[in-house]
Amino acid sequence: MHVQFAELPVSDQDRAKAFYVEHFDCEVVADVPMGQDGWRWVELKFPGAETNLHFVRRASQAPSEEPDMMLVADDVSAVIEALRARGVEILTEPQDAPWQPGRTVAEFRDSEGNRMDIGSR
């Protein structure tokens, strides 16, 4: 058993899809109409992951105050530097996780205002 998808709130599905495809090499698994208002079922797959990312309609335009999701990478510092070089807002620099000694974590904000964690394995 595994989790099929995790939901991430977005305002602009195309902008969010472009962000995750460009910065994280996500593959578009689904992008199909859903409902009458132009909203679509968009689902992305991270390389090597079983759990996909699914976009849900954001309730508010306000940026999230708390992290929405934890992404895992082999080299957190390299990912943060690549994001910074592409103009992504970095909220916290790579540092030791206070809740898990030996784990490195950092935070960035995605195109939709989501506060995202990235941590080492």
> Domain spans of the chain?
5-120
CA 121 centroid distance within chain? 16
- Measured CA to CA, the distance from residue 10 to residue 115 in angstroms comes to 12
Supply the pLDDT for residue 60. 86
Using one digit for the tens of pLDDT, what is the confidence trace for 40-74? 999 999 999 999 999 999 988 888 888 889 999 99
Q: Kindly tell me the number of DSSP H helices and DSSP E strands found in the chain.
A: 2, 8
Residue 32 has pLDDT above 90, yes or no: yes
The candidate with the shortest Cα–Cα distance to 13, out of 39, 35, 46, 34, is: 39
Supply the pLDDT for residue 64. 86
Supply the pLDDT for residue 43. 97
Residue 26 has pLDDT above 90, yes or no: yes
Residue 36 has pLDDT above 90, yes or no: no
Domain boundaries 5-120, corresponding CATH code: 3.10.180.10
Going edge to edge, which strands form the sheet with 104-109?
A: 67-73, 115-120, 104-109, 89-96
